[in-house]
Amino acid sequence: MSTFDKSKVISISKTVLICGLVLYITFIIFFSDSNCPSSELFSSFRSKWAPFNSQSNVAQTNIATNISHLVFGLLGSEKAWHNRKSYIESWWRPNITKGYLLLDFPPKDDLLPWSINSPPYKISDNVVKLVEETKHVDPTVLRLVHGIMEVFREEHEDLRWLVMGDDDSVFFVDNMVDILAQYDHTKYYYFGGHSEFILSNYWYSFNQGFGGAGFILSYPLAKALAKDMVNCLKRYNYLNAADKTTMTCIADIGVNLSPLQGIHQIDLRGDISGFLSSHPKSLLMSLHHLDMVDPIFPSMDRSQSIFHLQNAANYDQSRMLQQTICHKRSSNWTFSVSWGYSAHIYEKIMPRSWIQRPIETFKTWQKSPNPPHYMFDVRNPSLDPCEAPHIFFFKSVEKTPRNEILTTYIRAWPRGIGACLYAGNLSAEYVSEIHVYSPAIKRIEIDRCECCDIIHEAGSNKADVKYRECKTDEIIA
């Protein structure tokens, strides 16, 4: 064989070998079973040359949860929206918040043209047709539960959490985002709140999230629930409660409720200031049934009250309603501040465990002659001047040049029951204004309350409360 022929054979052999190697590597990268072991070389090739979409998905998963990952489904009616839209518009952020208001009928009269400050609306699916298909006993229940699927099918891009609520609820979205960011949205989660009225939980279920105040589904759970929605409505067509039906359908998927304390159904009546002034130590997420209770601020109507509360929330949602208790021992005074809502002065040094119990200014959701009435401890209103607080309500909020947030609280009315005669005590009747200074920093992890220092000169009608972190092992009783 000539030298030329030998060179030609070698060249062809090299070409075949290289082509074979390329084909083998291609097969390993794109077609091999990821569960089968491969060499480190090929693993590095696979990770380096993985399809772009795969890398994008990983990058998207690593992005912290933000408001764009939440979609809201708000259940309402055309008739009620005339009086309730101010609740939703107080927290809805046009072109930022995602979601829909599901109406039973198209809007008309003074609802048109549709307000740009309201969520976009959709008309619920044909309820008559769905009743025929499912044989459901209650068209209203069917519409509310089926609404979950109707919201889910509209939104998929970047969806991590589906939030359902009623049109008379107020949400604190920044707090909601901060809480949900602590959970893996690729898992199955069903978050919600109990009713405050113990019999409501007994009548319906202690395992359901009361939907008016809002319940939250992770994407995989919302997807599974939407897929099985019609079949589940057929299985449980005899149930006449929407929240219980939703819980039951979710239980069939194998998921149970994870309760969150900051979601409030407000199954209460009358004056709920005592409840709001002793909020549990958890981020405030929602308030429901606001048209069933008194306006939460004196001298304001319900709409004005909610916008006033949201004014404080715009500065710092993480401290909303968070109760901070501290003492002015030289005067024997105890201060209790529900940030952004109220402040109390007691003319006696009181233990925190007692102050944390809400004053029962409110009434039960329905007649209930015998206790227990509530899912939390309460204390009775008192005319004892050593136990009855001087009450102040939130007036204004601003940011100071020292990068603090100043909230001001003014006296609601004269207490008018005399001074506490406990030894060494002073009257606080002349104090008309309380200034609370808090850091302009979010406080998401609230494993422990904040502490505070009281600055007050004898005879002054103003008192300053300065928030700070508690010292290690500090006893603040």
Q: How far is CA 298 from the centre of its chain?
A: 25
DSSP state of 389: P
Q: Which residues contact 239 (CB under 8 A, 6 or more apart)?
A: 137, 138, 141, 245, 248
| Residue 144, C-beta contacts closer than 8 angstroms, at least 6 positions apart | 75, 211, 242
H or E stretch including 452? strand 451-455
End-to-end, the C-alpha distance of the chain in Å comes to: 103
Task: Give me the residue spans of the domains in the chain.
Answer: 67-264, 301-468
Secondary structure of 147-208 in the HEC alphabet?
Answer: HHHHHHCCCCCCCCEEEEEECCCEECHHHHHHHHCCCCCCCCCEEECCCCEHHHHHHCCCCC
The pLDDT, as a whole number, for residue 11 is: 54
* Those residues with Cβ within 8 angstroms of residue 301's Cβ, 6 or more apart along the chain or in another chain: 295
Under 8 Å between Cβ of 412 and 298: yes
Q: Which residues lie closer than 8 Å to 238 by C-beta, 6 or more apart?
A: 137
Q: Which of 353, 412, 418 is nearest to 388 (CA)?
A: 418
Q: What is the CA radius of gyration of the chain?
A: 29
The pLDDT profile of the chain, 477 residues, written as one tens digit per residue, is: 544 454 444 455 555 455 455 454 444 444 444 333 333 333 333 333 333 343 434 445 689 999 999 999 999 999 999 999 999 999 999 999 999 999 999 999 999 999 999 999 999 999 999 999 999 999 999 999 999 999 999 977 899 999 999 999 999 999 999 999 999 999 999 999 999 999 999 999 999 999 999 999 999 999 999 999 999 999 999 999 999 999 999 999 999 999 999 999 999 999 999 999 999 999 999 999 999 999 999 989 999 999 999 999 999 999 999 999 999 999 999 999 999 999 999 999 999 999 999 999 999 999 988 899 999 999 999 999 999 999 999 999 999 999 999 999 999 999 999 999 886 778 999 999 999 999 999 998 888 899 999 999 988 999 999 999 999 888 776
Structure tokens at 276: 């709001």
Question: What class has domain 67-264?
Answer: alpha beta
User: How far apart are the C-alpha atoms of 50 and 62, rounded to whole Å?
Assistant: 17
Burial class (CB in 10 A: 0-12, 13-18, 19+), 232: buried
Rounded distance between C-alpha atoms, residue 287 and residue 330, angstroms: 38
Give me the phi and psi of 28, to 5 degrees please. -65, -45
CA 456 – CA 89 distance, rounded (Å): 39
Among the listed residues 209, 212, 278, 195, the one whose alpha carbon sits nearest the alpha carbon of residue 250 = 209
DSSP letters for 63-107: SPP-GGGEEEEEE--HHHHHHHHHHHHTT--TTTSEEEEEESS--
Minimal CA–CA distance to 393: which of 431, 458, 460, 339? Answer: 339
Find the DSSP H helices in 32-72.
40-48, 52-62
CA neighbours closer than 13 Å in the CB half-sphere of residue 292: 16
> Cα–Cα distances in Å, from 408 out to 14, 234, 382, 398, 439?
84, 54, 26, 9, 15
Indicate the DSSP class of residue 119: P
Count the Cβ atoms, other than its own, within 10 Å of residue 101. 22
pLDDT of residue 383: 95
List the one residue out of 235, 3, 272 whose CA is nearest residue 134: 235
- CB atoms closer than 10 angstroms to residue 360: 17
CA distance linking residue 29 with residue 49, whole number of Å: 8
Q: Helices 139-152 & 219-227, crossing angle to 10 degrees?
A: 130
